[in-house]
Amino acid sequence: MIQKLITVGNSRALTISKDILNQIGEADIADVHFVPAKKRIIVDFDQEEIVENLVDPEVYKVAKSLLKRYKAAFTELAKK
């Protein structure tokens, strides 16, 4: 599949098709690796593995629950 890169500020972004997103499921974080020799980007959406490498799983679970519970409040705060 060929995807067009889009400009976002001073960066470039790559969209992920709806079909692929449906296969990935609910993902709010990804582990991204760049392989310079092959000019290849590898994106890993394995949430459990990513969380285990970044933060304590229990802390992540609580944070995700808080974000879900107070989403409206956080959205309002972000507008200010």
pLDDT in tens, the chain (80 residues): 888 899 999 999 998 889 988 998 877 788 889 999 999 999 988 866 666 667 777 887 898 899 999 999 988 888 87
Q: What residues contact 60, with CB distance under 8 A and at least 6 apart?
A: 51, 54
Domain extent listing, the chain: 5-79
pLDDT of residue 51: 65
- Give the span between the Cα atoms of 35 and 9, in whole angstroms: 24
Tell me the whole-structure pTM to 2 decimals.
0.52
Q: Judge whether 1 and 17 are in contact, CB under 8 Å.
A: yes
pLDDT of residue 40: 94
pLDDT of residue 38: 94
Radius of gyration of the chain (CA): 16
The residue ranges of DSSP E strands in 15-74, in sequence order, are 31-35, 40-44
